[in-house]
Amino acid sequence: MRFIRLAEELLKKETLALPDIVEILGQRPYPLKASVQQYLEELRERKVEDSEAVNAKETETETVATESNSEEEDKEKEEEKETTSTDESKKDK
């Protein structure tokens, strides 16, 4: 079953990194060198940090977009008020 999943992942990505292979097949029957284990841990940490940064940026973008929409709505309301007051003053004349 693990080899089928490996094959499916290879069809999707064409290239798999060691962390991907370990995730699919599991740990090796013999231990990895300490330097390789450290490298894999750094990759995991980077992946988490990158995903957190992306989430933070998306949240910031949504906030800016919401603020921008609110500002645009406020400007439109002010313009409507000005137009309405201008129309009323023309009627009075």
Domain ranges of the chain: 1-29, 31-93
Kindly list the averaged pLDDT for each block of 10 residues, start to end, along the chain of length 93: 91 88 88 86 86 83 69 74 64 56
Which residue's structure tokens are 């003053």?
A: 89
Of 27, 46, 47, 48, the C-alpha closest to 37 is 27
Which residues contact residue 2 at a Cβ distance below 8 angstroms, ignoring those fewer than 6 apart? 24, 25, 26
Q: Is 39 exposed, middle or buried (0-12, 13-18, 19+ CB in 10 A)?
A: middle
Residue-level pLDDT at 24: 92
- Reported pTM: 0.43
Q: Return the DSSP state at 15.
A: -
